Amino acid sequence: MFGLHYKLERKAVGLVLAVIVAASIGGLVEIAPLFTIDETVEEAPDMRLYTPLELAGRNIYIREGCYACHSQMIRTLQDEVERYGPFSLAVESRYDHPMLWGSKRTGPDLARIGDKYSDQWQVAHLIDPRAVVPESKMPAYAWLARTPLETENFGAHLDALRIVGVPYTDEMIASASSDALGQATPDGPRAAGVAQRYGDATQIRLFDGDAATVTEMDALVAYLQILGRLTDAATASTAANVE
């Protein structure tokens, strides 16, 4: 026993190995079992995927650091369920690479913001938050409405997501750029394919009210309007389990 310790301390390599072993146990024990969690997690056969436009909106949400002030995780607490809606389930973020649960609510939780407000409200609020909510502390994002959405080569994004486990089909990947534009131009020729590939429930409309160009505002609002609406699993599981 003692000899071992003696060597451990004498040899720098021993110390290194001991540190690695001691430090990695906790992570292994807590993280490893999560990779078999699919066996126990809720089923959500109706779960649909982010469309290219929504994904682009999600990437804007990430780029602007929205997660620094808005969580997307309703905890199993009575007041949260009453304020924000049914608590979040693991299955709801199964396609979220990365997850955006957040850690701080300088602004309210957004896990179920989808369809709570109209597109017009969202656009007006993003352009000038204080015009809609005078006490708001949110930065103004007026320039999103002036910035055309970059959709070139969008298939590569879906392809990368397929590699990490999101079941996009070849057809979805091939028509990703076209679908991104189509979802925000309901009267255009590209719109029909979007519903066909992503389901009839897909919201296809002029999100920012401007038919001339598809902007980053379109994408962000499309994303906000789908939050919490990818599956009905949470509503179905009811608020009975609230602590």
Q: What is the distance between the alpha carbons of residues 52 and 175, in angstroms, rounded to a whole number?
A: 9
Q: What is the distance between the alpha carbons of residues 187 and 172, in angstroms, rounded to a whole number?
A: 20
Which residue is it, tokens 């304020």? Answer: 83
What residues between 27 and 86 interact with other proteins by CB under 8 A?
A: 27, 29-37, 39-41, 59, 62-69, 71, 73, 75-77, 79-80, 82-83
CB of 225 to other proteins, least distance (A): 19
CB of 119 to other proteins, least distance (A): 21
φ, ψ at 101 (rounded to 5°): -65, -30
CB of 6 to other proteins, least distance (A): 8
Paired strand residues for 215: 148
CB of 191 to other proteins, least distance (A): 25
Of 4 and 189, which has the nearer Cβ to other proteins? 4
Q: Applying CB under 8 A, which part among 14-22, 174-182, 200-208, 220-228 lies near other proteins?
A: 14-22
**Residue 136 burial (10 A CB sphere; 0-12, 13-18, 19+):** middle
Q: What is the distance between the alpha carbons of residues 43 and 52, in angstroms, rounded to a whole number?
A: 24
If one asks whether residue 3 binds other proteins (CB under 8 A), the answer comes out as no
What residues between 130 and 149 interact with other proteins by CB under 8 A?
A: 130, 133, 135-143
What residues between 184 and 243 interact with other proteins by CB under 8 A?
A: 243
Q: Applying CB under 8 A, which part among 94-102, 118-126, 169-177, 218-226 lies near other proteins?
A: 94-102
CB of 189 to other proteins, least distance (A): 26
Q: Computed from CA positions of residues 128, 132, 135, 137, in that sequence, does the dihedral angle turn out positive or negative?
A: negative
> Which among 94, 98, 96, 78 has a CA at the least distance from the CA of 86?
78
Distance of CA 119 to the CA centre of its chain: 19
Of 132 and 195, which has the nearer Cβ to other proteins? 132
Of 36 and 200, which has the nearer Cβ to other proteins? 36
If one asks whether residue 16 binds other proteins (CB under 8 A), the answer comes out as yes
What residues between 99 and 128 interact with other proteins by CB under 8 A?
A: 99-109
For residue 150, give the amino acid letter.
E
Q: Would you tell me how many other CB atoms lie within 10 Å of the CB of residue 18?
A: 13
Paired strand residues for 148: 215
Of 114 and 186, which has the nearer Cβ to other proteins? 114
